[in-house]
Amino acid sequence: MTETGSIQFGTTTIRYTISFSPRRQKVAIAVYPDTTVTVTVPTGTSPEKVRDLVHRKAPWILEQIGAFDHLAMMDASKEYVGGETFLYLGRQYRLKIVTGEEKPSVKLVGGYFVVTVPAGVRPEEQRDLVRCTLCAWYKEHALQRVREVVRTYARRLHLDPPEVRIKHQLKRWGSCTKDGVLNVNVLILMAPMSQVEYVVAHELCHLRHKDHSVEFWDLLRLVMPDYEIRKERLRKEGWRYVL
């Protein structure tokens, strides 16, 4: 079960989600790369007690949010020029731009993303062309990979594989619509497969349990016993996944 809350600290509003856990004995505050704040507390903890704790920890929370904002700004400035690095399934590949074919294309060759652009493309147009070509490649391959993982975990959950849509989302790694469609962030293709599997398994479990209830987490643990490790790694490393 979850609730939401907020406090005012100076001129800043800090919004947070309260997650109640019967297994939790102490209160834990987590700030994620998307700057969301989650407070995990033992079942029965009053919202007032959580509010007081968040207020006491507000300087630390704002410091973490500021650090993630700074990292995001640093890494978000992709120029799409030769020599830049891009992640794919946890590995770094350098971007190499060549001219030749009439249609732009992307190939993985050794440790390089080789993007071919048509000869005669003006320098001011090349950046956008490389960006669009690379983004299309990521979406295509994300759909293939995610569908494979969906089939695997849908079998474990005794579900029919749902429709998958790949999107470029700012705040979520995945979501599940009321119609049972799985939306997955294209940026997850930059993560190791263990994190891709976590996002897919998490969303598939929502087809059984819509909220983050005890039953939801128990089901996720059943099909993925080490989900907490994968979740934590995604939380720590997710800020690096920028396209």
102 and 216 share a domain? yes
132 and 196 share a domain? yes
The stretches in the chain having pLDDT less than 50 are: none
47 and 99 share a domain? no
User: Cα separation of 149 and 162, whole Å?
Assistant: 11
* Per-residue model confidence (pLDDT) at position 113: 96
User: Cα separation of 216 and 201, whole Å?
Assistant: 11
* Per-residue model confidence (pLDDT) at position 21: 86
* Per-residue model confidence (pLDDT) at position 69: 73
* Per-residue model confidence (pLDDT) at position 73: 60
**What tokens appear for 148 in the block?**
């494979």
71 and 156 share a domain? no
Closest CA to 159 of 211, 212, 223, 230: 223
59 and 131 share a domain? no
| Residue at 80 is within a domain | no
* Per-residue model confidence (pLDDT) at position 107: 93
232 and 121 share a domain? yes
Paired with 31 in beta bridges are 37
Which residue range(s) make up the domain with 96?
85-240
167 and 219 share a domain? yes
10 Cβ contact partners less than 8 Å away, ≥ 6 residues apart: none
Q: How many domains, the chain?
A: 2
